[in-house]
A and B are shown apart, each in its own frame.
Chain A
Amino acid sequence: MTIAPSLSRQQPVSSTHPGPLLKVEDLSIEFGPEGTAVRVVEGVSFSIDAGAAVGIVGESGSGKSMTSLAVMGLIPSPPGRIATGRILFEGVDLLGLPRSRMPEIRGRDIAMIFQEPMSSLNPVMTIGDQIGEAIKLHEKMGREERRQRIIELLKLVGIPDPERRLGAYPHQFSGGMRQRVMIAMAVACNPKLLIADEPTTALDVTIQAQVLELMHKIRRTLNTTILLISHDLGVIADICERVIVMYAGKVVEDADVKTIFRSPKHPYTRGLLQSIPRLKDENTRLYQIPGMVPLPGTIKQGCPFFPRCPDRIDKCARETPPLLEITSQQKAACWVSAGATS
């Protein structure tokens, strides 16, 4: 398979920067006026190596989208605010950067794909112009060269007849096609890190599979590091090698995909896995985790999963478990899995 010349500039496999590409340390995000603020993300830490694909999974309200928006510097502020923590991208703390520097990084180094392909494109601009906008912004290129690049990108994401489609408007595309255009926009400047926030949620299953296949292809062709946000473990298992499970604003488990499917260590992860329907036992009722995700700010002490946990012990109500190392491949925030008994 040959790759068009302008897109063959992959990210180098070994980055010049030693250590992980993205390192999030003790990130907390709160909303509301200071003093009575509600923490929606608390003490989240994880790191992503260059070239890796990592997934964050969790229910609605678990703080996974907020974490990804924080990396982009897109937390709506006010009322949102990053209370503590550091976000190191190639060793540079993004939170310490002056505000005017972020636009240079967005789109060029870190790009994002959003959840709603139907409304994430400007209805009054042709898709060619919208993709071109990102290129014009971050790279010096002549008009014709840029046009060729846009055509290459549209080809890469599998839009047929790209020369003609350049001048088409978003409403002439279906949802799946629009998501492809969004992906083309995101990878236009060959970002080091691609954040995909529920990229397939709004699409039907066949289109989902195509978009996932496309994500694989982007990774193969451009060697882009991917951070995938989803509530669907299946989607994450398809793309990623590592999973971070979030619950009520905290990381509860961090392990590689195979390990987590084989032996989940946090009871919440176990619950999630059990609630995936399986073909062979179609007659039994699907497992459901009892109770509901606690509202942000209502957990004062103890493990946030305590009220819903089938394996809870007394210690869980008193002390909040930190992310404990179970094996070298797997960390879980659970006293029971770490060996506590009372």
Chain B
Amino acid sequence: MTILPGSVGTLSASDDIEHAIAPEPGRTALLKDMLFGQASTIFAFSVVVIFLLVAILAPWLAPYDPLAQSVLSINKQPSWAHWLGTDQFGRDVLSRMIHGSRNSLLFGLISPALAAFFGTILGVTAGYFGGVVDRVISRVVDLLLAFPELLLAIMIAAVLGGAFWNIIAVITVAFIPGFARVARASTLAVKQEPYIEAAVAVGLRTPTIIIRHVIPNISAPILVLMTLWVASAIRLEASLSFLGIGTRAPNPSWGNIIRDGLNNLFGSPWPIIAAGFAITCVVLSFNLMGDAVRDVLDPETTR
């Protein structure tokens, strides 16, 4: 509809300051543009989707049983029969990689997501309410930070045992302090903003203010941190496997493929090359995706 000059409400046509802003595309169109506008984002997105598909379809994709050993084909170079060669037990590296992606991606995705969730709750609570609440939460977080992640993980795993969900819990707890810190610091900054006071003045209650005004404004650093820690989670799982707490041999994960490969580096380098390459690809892709998601969430980078 058009606004007639001097019609209801408008002061007059001449006193508005910005007549022309570019037409507003719909939100979904914008999202599409942000996600698929850049080549690097498309690449990252494709890599992640491919890896996820591989993980889901592992039993149908893998050419061999990942656990089947064969004395006749130990330490083979890549060939048409074994695309990535075989390891010191004659197991097909490609099949182990495909099956291993399940464990690694699950650990790599679930733990940072859970850690971000709980860490944000803790950090925002501490930052927004301050006082005693802040002191208690911050000291507990400091205590957890004082331990190296791996040590903390071993400690919890030793108490709980090495079942799948225990390992997830272990990695999650190890990552929570980092998220809590970032969330707390960002909340402290956002809390000072006049729009929070304005939200109070409108009559919003504290939970609504936190969910609608604080969390959206601190989401960017948390998302980026989350994508960065996908890598750390995969690495931590590998370390735990190495110590015999994570995925147990002979079951494959990218982490223990590297560990096994290290002992047999001169026999066949292919397990390490393959697993290292896969981890690098996934981590890089997640980081690129994190940047893209952050840009989508921040309206000021839209134009």
Contacts of B3 in A (CB 8 A): 155, 160-161
Contact-residue size bin, chain A (C-beta under 8 Å from the other chain): 35 or more
Known: A210-B15, A217-B11. A123 touches B217 (CB 8 A): yes
Contacts across chains A and B counted by CB atoms under 8 Å: 118
**CB < 8 Å: which of B9, B11, B201, B299 contacts A171?**
B299
Q: Does B197 contact A (CB under 8 A)?
A: yes
Contacts of B203 in A (CB 8 A): 103-108, 134, 137-138
Chain B interface, number of residues (Cβ within 8 angstroms): 37
Contacts of A207 in B (CB 8 A): 17
Contacts of A112 in B (CB 8 A): 198, 201
Residue of A nearest to B2 (CB): A161
Q: Assess whether A160 is in contact with B8, with CB atoms less than 8 Å apart.
A: no
Of A1-9, A11-19, A301-309, the segment with at least 4 beta carbons within 8 Å of chain B is: A1-9
Q: Assess whether B10 is in contact with A4, with CB atoms less than 8 Å apart.
A: no
Q: Assess whether A168 is in contact with B205, with CB atoms less than 8 Å apart.
A: no
Mask, B280-303, CB within 8 Å of A = 1, is: 000000000000000001111010
Q: Does B148 contact A (CB under 8 A)?
A: no
Mask, A189-211, CB within 8 Å of B = 1, is: 00000000000000000010010
CA distance A159 to B17 in the complex (A): 9
CA distance A167 to B302 in the complex (A): 13
Contacts of A163 in B (CB 8 A): 1
Q: Assess whether A124 is in contact with B217, with CB atoms less than 8 Å apart.
A: yes
Q: Assess whether B300 is in contact with A173, with CB atoms less than 8 Å apart.
A: no
Q: Assess whether A159 is in contact with B16, with CB atoms less than 8 Å apart.
A: yes
CA distance A28 to B302 in the complex (A): 48
Contacts of A210 in B (CB 8 A): 11, 15
Contacts of A152 in B (CB 8 A): 9
Contacts of A120 in B (CB 8 A): 194-195, 197-198
Q: How far is the CB of A68 from chain B (nearest CB, A)?
A: 10
Give the residues from 12 to 45 in chain A that come closer than 8 angstroms, CB to CB, to chain B: none
Q: Does B204 contact A (CB under 8 A)?
A: yes
Q: Assess whether A107 is in contact with B202, with CB atoms less than 8 Å apart.
A: yes
Q: Assess whether A114 is in contact with B198, with CB atoms less than 8 Å apart.
A: yes
Q: Assess whether B9 is in contact with A158, with CB atoms less than 8 Å apart.
A: yes
Contacts of A108 in B (CB 8 A): 203
Contacts of A50 in B (CB 8 A): none
Q: How far is the CB of A326 from chain B (nearest CB, A)?
A: 36
Q: How far is the CB of B185 from chain A (nearest CB, A)?
A: 18
Q: Does A329 contact B (CB under 8 A)?
A: no
Known: A3-B8, A155-B10, A160-B10. A174 touches B201 (CB 8 A): no
Of B20-28, B133-141, B247-255, B265-273, the segment with at least 4 beta carbons within 8 Å of chain A is: B20-28
Residue of A nearest to B27 (CB): A167
Q: Does A51 contact B (CB under 8 A)?
A: no
Contacts of B201 in A (CB 8 A): 72, 74, 106-107, 111-112, 114
Contacts of B19 in A (CB 8 A): 160
Known: A3-B8, A103-B205, A119-B194. A160 touches B13 (CB 8 A): yes
Contacts of A341 in B (CB 8 A): none
Q: Assess whether B198 is in contact with A158, with CB atoms less than 8 Å apart.
A: no
Q: Assess whether A182 is in contact with B1, with CB atoms less than 8 Å apart.
A: no
Give the residues from 148 to 179 in chain A that come closer than 8 angstroms, CB to CB, to chain B: 152, 155-161, 163-164, 167-169, 171-174, 176-177
CA distance A160 to B201 in the complex (A): 26
CA distance A202 to B27 in the complex (A): 32
**CB < 8 Å: which of A107, A114, A164, A172 contacts B197?**
A114
CA distance A217 to B197 in the complex (A): 26
Q: Assess whether A177 is in contact with B18, with CB atoms less than 8 Å apart.
A: yes
Q: Does A93 contact B (CB under 8 A)?
A: no
Q: Does A82 contact B (CB under 8 A)?
A: no
CA distance A103 to B302 in the complex (A): 34
Q: How far is the CB of B246 from chain A (nearest CB, A)?
A: 38
Give the residues from 92 to 146 in chain A that come closer than 8 angstroms, CB to CB, to chain B: 103-108, 111-112, 114-116, 119-125, 133-134, 137-138
Contacts of A115 in B (CB 8 A): 194
Q: Assess whether B202 is in contact with A168, with CB atoms less than 8 Å apart.
A: no
**CB < 8 Å: which of B8, B15, B198, B212 contacts A1?**
B8
**CB < 8 Å: which of A114, A134, A169 contacts B299?**
A169
**CB < 8 Å: which of B10, B15, B204, B300 contacts A123?**
B300
**CB < 8 Å: which of B11, B202, B205, B216 contacts A124?**
B216
**CB < 8 Å: which of A105, A158, A173 contacts B15?**
A158
A-B contact pairs, 22 of them (CB 8 A): A2-B8, A103-B205, A104-B203, A106-B201, A107-B203, A111-B201, A119-B195, A120-B198, A122-B195, A122-B213, A124-B299, A137-B202, A155-B3, A158-B15, A164-B24, A168-B21, A168-B24, A172-B21, A173-B18, A174-B18, A176-B17, A213-B11
Given A4-B8, A106-B201, 13 further pairs, Cβ under 8 A: A74-B200, A107-B202, A119-B193, A122-B216, A123-B217, A123-B299, A124-B298, A125-B213, A133-B204, A133-B212, A134-B203, A163-B1, A186-B202
